[in-house]
Amino acid sequence: MNARLFLSIITSRMKFSLIGMSGSGKTYWSKKLQKKGFKVLRCDDLLEKKLGAGFKNLGYSGIRDVARWMGQPFDGRYAKKSQEYLTCEKKAMEDILSEAETCQNLIIDTTGSVIYLGNVILNKLSSVSKVVYIRADTSSIEKMFRLILKNLKPVIWGKSFNKNAGESNKQALTRCYPKLLEFRSKEYEKLADFTLDYRLLRKSDFIVEKFIELIK
C-alpha cells in the first residue's frame, strides 16, 4: 500500500492535538503532518493576531517578542501581562475549538501553557480531538531553560515560581524551573490520550506514517 493511500485510510476524520513544553517538537510535527494533507490550527499564530495592533505599537512583532512584553516572574509587570496573555490564549483556543468541530484531518498545535486555560477549554480539547503529549528530553529542556534566561521565550509559571531572600533572579529561576517541569508534566499526562517521547520522534527513520500508527 502506498503512503498516500495509507494516509487516506487511517486519517479519515482524524483530529488530534499536540501538547507539551515549548521546544518539544509540537510545531515541527504539525508542519510535517501538514505536508501530508492535515489542516493545522496553530495557537501561536492566532495569539499574535489576538495581541493585535496595541502589541505592535509598543515595538513588538511576533510571538518571540511576547517574552519581552510579558517579562519574567520577578518583574513588576509580569502578573498583569501574564494574565493578559492567558486571556488572549483562551480566546484563541475558543476560536480554534469552534473551528475544529467542522474540520476533518486536523492538528491543533497548542502552546506549552494550554494547561492553564481552565477545565472548560481542556475538556473541549479532549472532546474534539485525541490529545498527544510530546514528552521533552533533557537536551530540549535545557535548551528551553537557556532561552528563558535570555528572556526569549514567554513562560507562564503559575504557582511554580517564588524568590527566596538573598537569591538572585537567575538563582530563583534555576531553583524553580524543575518545579515548573514537574507540575506541567503531571498536567500534560493527565490530559493526554497518548504520550510520545521526543527522542523517538527525532529518529531518522521515524516517518509520518509511524507517528500516525502510534496514535490512531
Phi, psi angle pair for 53, to nearest 5°: -65, -35
Query: What is the pLDDT at residue 94?
Result: 98
Tell me the average pLDDT across 96-107.
93
1 — pLDDT class (breaks 50, 70, 90): very low
Best mean pLDDT range from 95-104, 114-123, 150-159: 114-123
Q: State residue 8's pLDDT score.
A: 58
Supply the pLDDT for residue 210: 85
pTM of the model: 0.89
pLDDT for 135-148, tens place per residue? 988 887 888 888 88
Q: Which domains does the chain have, with CATH numbers?
A: 13-215 (3.40.50.300)
Q: What is the pLDDT of residue 65?
A: 83
Average pLDDT, the chain: 88
| 16 contacts 129 by C-beta, under 8 angstroms | yes
The residue-averaged pLDDT of 171-188 equals 94
Give 181's contacts (C-beta < 8 A, 6+ positions apart). Answer: 21, 141
* Model confidence at 79: pLDDT above 60: yes
Cα-based distances in Å from 43 to 94, 122, 153: 10, 14, 15
Query: At 2, is the pLDDT very low, low, confident or very high (cuts 50, 70, 90)?
Result: low
The pLDDT, as a whole number, for residue 11 is 53
Gyration radius (Cα) of the chain, Å: 18
Please list the alpha-helical segments (H only) found in 11-65.
26-34, 43-57
Mean pLDDT to the nearest integer, 154-170: 95
Q: Are 155 and 148 in contact (CB under 8 A)?
A: yes
Residue 190 has pLDDT above 90, yes or no: yes
**Rounded distance between C-alpha atoms, residue 70 and residue 76, angstroms:** 10
Predicted confidence (pLDDT) per residue in 33-68, tens digit? 998 889 999 998 898 888 876 677 777 776 678 888
Neighbouring-strand partners of residue 106: 15, 39
C-alpha 71/C-alpha 152 separation (Å) is 10
Kindly tell me if the per-residue pLDDT of 92 is higher than 90: yes
